[in-house]
Amino acid sequence: MERLSQVEHPKPNRDWIYANFNEFRARHPWVGSDNVAPKSVVREMYERAMTFGEYVQDYGLKRSEGVVLRYLSDVYKGLQQNVPEELRTPELDDVIVWLGALIRQVDSSLIDEWERLLHPDHAVSVDELRPSLPTGERSIVDDHRAFRVMVRNKVFDWVQKLARRRGYDEIVADAGSESWPDGEALIEAVQPYWAVHDEIRTDPGARAGELFHFDRTTGRVTQILCDPDDTNEWRIEAIVDLEASAAESRVVLRLVSVASAV
C-alpha cells in the first residue's frame, strides 16, 4: 500500500510549474489554497501520435471519455486564449492546430461555437474556413496543416520505437506491406545503422522541421534520423494513403524503406 501510494501520473516540468505557481500565489492572496495539477495527457497523445479513440482504448477510459474530451477542449481553449502572442512559436501553433483538429474529429461543437463567440463579427463561418469532402463531410485530411502535423507525429513515433530498439512488429503491423512481412525484416534493415552508431536521437533537435518532408501531391514522406555524429545519412521513407486516412480517420502510412542515403 505504501508503494502504491507513491504511484502517480507523469507530471512533466512539475518542479518548474509548482515553483512558479507558488511565486504567483504569494503575490495574489485570492488564490488561497488552490494549486495547479500538471498533466501529460496532451503531451503523450502528441508525442505518441495517438487519436482520441486510441488514447481512450489504451488506458481503458471508455466510461470517462466525456471527461477526457472536455479536458482536451479546455487545453485547446487555454492555449488559444492565454499564451501571449509574443510567446507563440511555430511549434506551439502546430500543437494548437493539431489539437483543434483532433477534438473536431470527435465533437466539433465543443470548439466551433466557442470560436464563433470569439469572432462574432467574422463574415465567414467556421465551417466555411475548413475544406469539405464532395459529400459535404469533413475528414482529417482536409485541414492541410493539422494533417501534416499528424503525419509528422506518426513517423516520429516510428523513430522513437527504432531508437528504443523495440516496437519493430508494431511498426510493420501498422505500416507494413509485402516488403515487410514481420519485425525481423525491419530489424535486418536497420542493422547496418547500429553497426556504426549506438543511438538514434529523439531530442527536440531530432524533431526539427527541416528533418521532415511531406509532399502532399505524391504522398511521399521523408524523416531523417539524427545520429550522435550528426551525419544524418539515414532516413525513413514512407507513403501517405490519403483516401484510407480520410476513411479511417487516422493517418495511414505505408513504410517504404529505412536506409542510408549514401
- pLDDT for 6 equals 83
- pLDDT for 262 equals 78
Q: What's the pLDDT tens digit per position in 222-258?
A: 999 999 999 999 999 999 999 999 988 889 999 999 9
- pLDDT for 126 equals 45
Cα–Cα distance for residue pair 195/71, rounded to 1 Å: 45
Q: How would residue 209 be classed by pLDDT, with cut points 50, 70 and 90? A: confident
Question: Which regions of the chain does DSSP assign to beta strands (E)?
Answer: 212-215, 220-224, 234-240, 253-260
Instruction: Say which range, 136-140, 184-188, 191-195, has the weakest mean pLDDT.
Output: 136-140
* 4: pLDDT strictly greater than 50: yes
Cα–Cα distance for residue pair 175/239, rounded to 1 Å: 9
Greater pLDDT, 123 or 187: 187
Q: What's the pLDDT tens digit per position in 136-159?
A: 467 889 889 999 999 999 999 999
Cα–Cα distance for residue pair 156/219, rounded to 1 Å: 16
Whole-model pTM: value is 0.75
- pLDDT for 204 equals 85
Sign for the CA dihedral angle at 63, 48, 6, 23 comes to negative
Domain ranges of the chain: 10-129, 150-260
Partners of 240 in beta bridges: 253
Q: What's the pLDDT tens digit per position in 16-64?
A: 999 999 999 989 888 888 888 888 899 999 988 888 988 999 999 999 9
Q: What's the pLDDT tens digit per position in 88-139?
A: 998 899 999 999 988 988 887 877 777 777 766 654 444 444 444 343 467 8
- pLDDT for 122 equals 55
Residues 154-173 as b/e (b if ≥16 CB within 10 A, e otherwise) read bbbbbbbbbbeeebbeebbe
- pLDDT for 192 equals 95
Spell out the residues 6+ positions from residue 250 whose beta carbon is closer than 8 angstroms to its own.
51, 54, 140
Cα–Cα distance for residue pair 262/233, rounded to 1 Å: 6
- pLDDT for 86 equals 92
Q: What's the pLDDT tens digit per position in 62-86?
A: 999 999 999 999 999 999 888 999 9
